[in-house]
Amino acid sequence: MFSKGTINRIRRSVAIRLSATFVLLFTIGFTAIFGLMYWLLGRQLEQREEDALNQRTQQYARVYNTQGMPGLDLMFYRGGGTLFDRPVFMRVVSPNGAILKQQVPPDWLNNDGKVVVVPDRWGGWAEQQVFSVRVPHDQQQDIISRALELRDGMLLQVACVANNRTTLLKPLRWTFLWVAGVMVIVAFTIGWLAARHAVKPLQGVVDTARRIITTGTLDARVAEPKRDNDIAELVRLFNTVLDKNAALLRSMREALDNVAHDLRTPLTSMRGGAEVALASGSGPALRDALADTVERSDEVLRLLRALMEISEADSGMLKLKRERCDVEAILRATCDLYADVADSRGQKLEVAPSTGAIFVSADPIRLRQIAGNLLDNALKYTPEGGRVVMSARPDERGGRRGALIAVSDNGPGVPEPEQGRIWERLYRGDQSRSQTGLGLGLSLVRAIVEAHGGVVSVHNVPPPAHGAIFEVWLPE
């Protein structure tokens, strides 16, 4: 009737599982409520009959104690021998077991009486019909009785027939079964529709994931639900993950393109130098070719070394030898190192004096690497005759004290769309494509700073001036 795949889909369906759980809980709750009501109703009916019989027994006792047997006879004569429109059995028994008074309901008497011979008052014998008493107790009726000791020591026994609770409430049980069956069907239907509507976005997630796996279409997205709930949040997060994966793949493609471009140039030069050396065979040409090969090999090694350091920092594996470092002293040492480069281009390089000594807990070698890469980047994009300023000042962020290192220039600045991406490895903006370099300097800065628990940022100088300001915050 159903294929195995259909049965598996039904078995794994979240909507059906939720509906079944809802129906199960509803059935348990409905049955518990009905059971409680059934017990309370039966108990109330039983208590009502018992209370009425107790009251009638007390009433008979009061009449007997005040008026004696004639009072009981008069009471039965006036209709006091019924309870709930049913005749009452009443008997007065003496302490020696003799029956002094007895009122038996007609339906308790056996109609097939026996004829027995008993002595009469004149010393003879007479026939008398004797009827036996049958207590009517069966599945339809129950007998309830009470006994009370009278004032003169006699025992008053009262009994009556009551409807059996099980029989009396049988229609209610059948009604419950019919209502429960209908309610289960209705509850399952409503629960399935509600659950199916609620988990419909999840099916969209499954379909989108299956389409991406099958076709490789990474631009597929799940339509967001109209209602804002947990499932809608899940859909949004799923779409965000897809967006980030797509962006990551684009970055990987761009990175591979940049790596291929950066490696092609030195490798091509190495091959050309080797071919020249092989073709010439002379000593000076061979030495020049080998020197150029070594230089190009160093470029490739620097590229690979920078990539490895960034990966180590991103993964938290970068080893840091922290010590108390004077930030301004490291900035001045870095400026001295790049002074000749700046002078050759007519650029002015300076370190703004700070108000006091600024210290941070950092790896001094990595801190020099941060300052050197930022300064090298600033000099690269500052025109001839331009000005680059390095500065440091105390700064507190999030309740933590630290130092803010800034490198500003009067170059063209960084376009706002690129300010968040220039820290990515191997990213090259439009302005940087004409410049030499590996495209890893700022990525390495970010990785080292974050390994120290710091933050990097960049913004442009407010107009009408121009230039960029690169900032690095490191905790104290």
Determine the average pLDDT of the residues in 122-144. Answer: 58
CA nearest to 425, candidates 250, 245, 255: 255
Query: Is residue 165 domain-resident?
Result: yes
Q: What is the mean pLDDT of residues 57-61?
A: 87
Note whether 240 and 360 are same-domain residues. no
Domain boundary among 133, 155, 170: 170
Q: In which band, very low, low, confident or very high, does the pLDDT at 471 lie, cut at 50, 70 and 90?
A: very high
Identify the pLDDT of residue 146.
Answer: 84
160 and 114 in one domain? yes
Does 94 reside within a domain? yes
Range with the largest mean pLDDT of 123-127, 175-179, 253-257, 360-364: 360-364
Place of tokens 């004797």: 130
Are 263 and 243 in the same domain? yes
Mean pLDDT of 404-424: 86
Comparing 310 with 343, the larger pLDDT belongs to: 343
CA distance 440 to 299: 12
Residues 312 and 330 reside in one and the same domain: no
Hey, what are 184's tokens?
Answer: 């289960």
pLDDT of residue 86: 78
Instruction: Work out the pLDDT band at 111, boundaries 50, 70, 90.
Output: low
* pLDDT attached to residue 131: 47
Domain that includes residue 304, residue range: 228-318
- pLDDT the model gives residue 426: 66
CATH number of the CATH domain containing 361? 3.30.565.10
Q: What are the structure tokens assigned to 369, written together? A: 């690497």
pLDDT exceeds cutoff 60 at 2: no
What is the percent of the chain where pLDDT is above 70? 73
Of the ranges 40-49, 178-187, 251-260, 375-384, which one carries the lowest mean pLDDT score?
A: 251-260
Look at residue 195 and tell me if it is in a domain: no
Q: How far apart are CA 315 and CA 321, in angstroms?
A: 17
More reliable by pLDDT, 275 or 237: 237
Backbone φ/ψ region at 118: left (φ over 0), alpha (ψ -120 to 50), beta: beta
Q: Is 176 part of any domain?
A: no
Q: Average pLDDT of 63-81?
A: 84
CA–CA separation, 347 and 10 (whole Å): 74
| Residue 292 pLDDT > 60 | yes
The domain boundary, picked from 170, 188, 213, lies at 170
The verdict on residue 433 lying in a domain is: yes
pLDDT confidence band for 360 (50 / 70 / 90): very high
- Residue 280 pLDDT greater than 80, yes or no: no
Question: pLDDT at residue 127 above 70?
Answer: no
Q: What is the pLDDT of residue 473?
A: 93
Residue 116 has pLDDT above 60, yes or no: no
Domain co-membership, 16 together with 156: yes
**Domain check: are 329 and 466 in the same one?**
yes
Q: Are residues 151 and 17 in the same domain?
A: yes
What whole-number distance in Å separates Cα of residue 189 and Cα of residue 382?
72
Q: What is the pLDDT of residue 406?
A: 93
**429 in the same domain as 339:** yes
Same structural domain for residues 352 and 281? no
State the average pLDDT over residues 99-112: 72
In a domain, 59, yes or no: yes
* CATH code of residue 269: 1.10.287.130
| Rg (alpha carbons) of the chain, rounded to whole number | 52
In this structure, the answer to whether residues 353 and 471 fall within a common structural domain is yes
Domain for residue 118, yes or no? yes
Please give the Cα distance from 296 to 141 (Å, whole number). Answer: 110
- pLDDT tens figures, 141-169: 677 888 888 888 888 888 887 776 666 67
Task: Give the pLDDT score at 56.
Answer: 86
pLDDT averaged over every residue in the chain? 77
Number of H helices, E strands in the chain: 10, 15
* Ramachandran quadrant class, 386 (left: phi over 0; alpha: psi -120 to 50; beta: rest): beta
Q: What is the number of domains present in the chain? A: 3
Top mean-pLDDT range of 193-197, 286-290, 304-308, 445-449? 445-449
What mean pLDDT do residues 66-84 have?
Answer: 82
Instruction: Establish if 98 belongs to a structural domain.
Output: yes
Quick check: 141 and 168 in contact, CB under 8 A?
no
Are 437 and 293 in the same domain? no
Same domain, 162 and 16: yes
Tokens describing residue 317: 């594996």
